[in-house]
Copies of this chain bind each other. A is one copy, B any other.
Amino acid sequence: MSDIPDLECRALCKSYNDFQAVKDVSFSVPKGTFFSILGPSGCGKTTLLRMIAGFQEATGGDLLIKGKSMLDVPPNKRPVSMVFQHLALFPMMNIGANVGFGLRQRGVNKSDIQVQVERVLERVGLGGVAERPVDSLSGGQKQRVAIARCMVLEPDVLLLDEPLGALDLKLREHMKVELKKLQSEFNTTFVYITHDQSEALVMSDQIAVMNHGRFEQIGTAKELYYQPDTAFVAGFVGEANTHTARVESANGEALHLVTPDGLHLRGVDAGDRLAKGDRAQIFVRPEAIRLSRSVADLAGLQNTGKGRVESVLFNGANSQLILRDGANGAEMSVALPQTAEFRDLAKGDDIHFGWAPDQTRCYRQVS
């Protein structure tokens, strides 16, 4: 029984007239998973979520919840609940009435509703507010009411459409942690969409990266960050310096590449099976680059160079250097290590840098 996933999509498609917003998306979400869909604006996340909720009809493929196809089930009969981007709490009802709304639709009797509403409000840490108007709550509290309103119905799947988008920075940071906590307490399957990579990375068990209507990769946060399958994922998840180069020779995964300026680089093939002569796109994360005042320290790293500090973007623990590579004039951003050693680095200083081949992921260049 438990190996039937809570949610499964099979080659799901959605076209608006000529435009394909969602293309052949397939995935399945096991019970109790926090599943995020991460992608840039306009990539089709909302469309996908609304198909799952039933507000949009799929133009192809199938959609199953607990193994049952949902295609012909109207939205008010699907065992999924949705937390809307702007929460969509009913302003004309008090908090209790909001949370009890779904139960009322099911015809549950009044006293039971009251008991259940109070119980779920307590679970989200808002006991005793049932009588208050919605507007008397802070942004984060509203968020919790919206979740309570769904959870009281014990849905199989909870859908969340960028619910943190409207909050301010500090609150967003806080709610990230809180949401994850709520999910593990309720142990309900969450399908969460966002275009903010840090939200997805911090909260999710599984993340699907979506682009132009397709899923590019599904994996854990670390998989996406350290082993991105595609150039898009490598660029979208986390920061990276990119280069283009030609493959000089390939030895299994190990590649030897040459940039247009004649620089030689060593990297690893990210899975595109590059061969000699192929054009490759190369990604190196800023924190993968080591700095040193002496070349010797960087001997072990196969990719090295010397650059001049263009600017120091001081930002406490997240400071970065913008270096201009002495060899080819390319700009590079390098995470500034927290050791005091580099704290006095200033614009115009020269410095050596280098990084290991396994931090150099190479993808086939699509022109």
Using a CB–CB distance below 8 Å, which chain A residues touch chain B?
169, 176-177, 180, 196-198, 201-202, 221-222, 225-226, 237-239, 285-288, 311, 313-318, 322, 335, 338, 343
Contacts and interface: CB of A to CB of B under 8 A. Distances in A.
Contacts of A197: 316
Contact of A335 (B180, B237, B239, B338): B338
B313 A225 contact: no
Contacts of A226: 343
A316 B227 CA distance: 12
B201 A287 contact: no
Contacts of A201: 314-316
A317 B221 contact: no
6 contacts: A177-B313, A180-B311, A221-B315, A239-B317, A285-B316, A317-B318
Contacts of A316: 197, 201, 225, 237-239, 285, 287
A202 B314 contact: yes
The 8 A-B pairs with the shortest beta carbon distances in the complex, nearest first, are: A238-B316, A287-B317, A221-B314, A287-B338, A202-B313, A201-B315, A198-B315, A225-B316
A196 B322 CA distance: 21
Contacts of A313: 176-177, 202
A225 B314 contact: yes
A286 B318 contact: no
Contact of A202 (B221, B225, B315): B315
A180 B320 CA distance: 15
Contacts of A177: 311, 313, 322
A19 to B, nearest CB: 21
A35 B209 CA distance: 40
Given A287-B338, A338-B287, A338-B335, A198 B343 contact: no
Contact of A222 (B202, B314, B317): B314
Given A222-B343, A343-B222, A317 B335 contact: yes
Most-contacted residue by chain B among A238, A288, A317 (CB, 10 A): A317
Most-contacted residue by chain B among A197, A285, A315 (CB, 10 A): A315
A225 B169 CA distance: 19
Nearest to A290: B338
A177 B196 CA distance: 20
A322 B169 CA distance: 20
Given A202-B315, A318-B318, 14 more contacts: A169-B196, A177-B313, A180-B311, A201-B315, A201-B316, A222-B343, A238-B316, A239-B317, A285-B317, A286-B317, A287-B316, A287-B338, A288-B338, A317-B318
Contacts of A180: 311
Contacts of A225: 314, 316
A215 to B, nearest CB: 20
Contacts of A176: 313
Contacts of A238: 316-317
A36 to B, nearest CB: 12
Contacts of A314: 201-202, 221-222, 225
A173 to B, nearest CB: 9
